Amino acid sequence: MEQWEAVYADLEVLLSGLPFAKANGSAAYYIVDYGDGQHKIECQAAEFFDPEILSAIQAVIRKHASEWEVILVGGPKLGPQQALSIYPNDIVPRWSTAQWYGDDA
């Protein structure tokens, strides 16, 4: 749990410092506790998927442990579900063309 909190703290510092981290005064992301070895970031801005941000997330993971995964998921405002599994040395797309629940077909 201590390592999870350390990774969380570093992710929070990284994400909160981004210029698009807030939209209309509210956070444009939140980090979900997925348990030991994994974090999930749900975001509302497409900029979170920029390669330099993905590299920065990988750097955070590498700093702590080689087996961590960060799942980056785009929110409904970004259209069909977007997701990436980010590992220290790899990024795996988990895109879906399915509409979000409640979206018009």
pLDDT band at 3 (very low <50, low <70, confident <90, very high): confident
Residue of higher predicted confidence among 38 and 52: 52
Percent of the chain's residues with pLDDT above 70: 83
pLDDT band at 100 (very low <50, low <70, confident <90, very high): very low
The per-residue b/e assignment along 37-74, b for 16 or more CB within 10 angstroms, e otherwise, is ebbbbbbbbeebbeeebbebbbebbeeeeeebbbbbbb
The pLDDT of residue 58 is 95
Tens of pLDDT, residues 52-94: 999 999 999 999 876 889 999 987 667 666 789 999 999 998 8
Domains detected in the chain: 2-93 (3.30.70)
Mean pLDDT of 94-102: 59
Q: Is the pLDDT of residue 101 over 50?
A: no
Q: Torsions phi, psi of 35, nearest 5?
A: 95, 180
* d(C-alpha 41, C-alpha 58), whole Å: 13
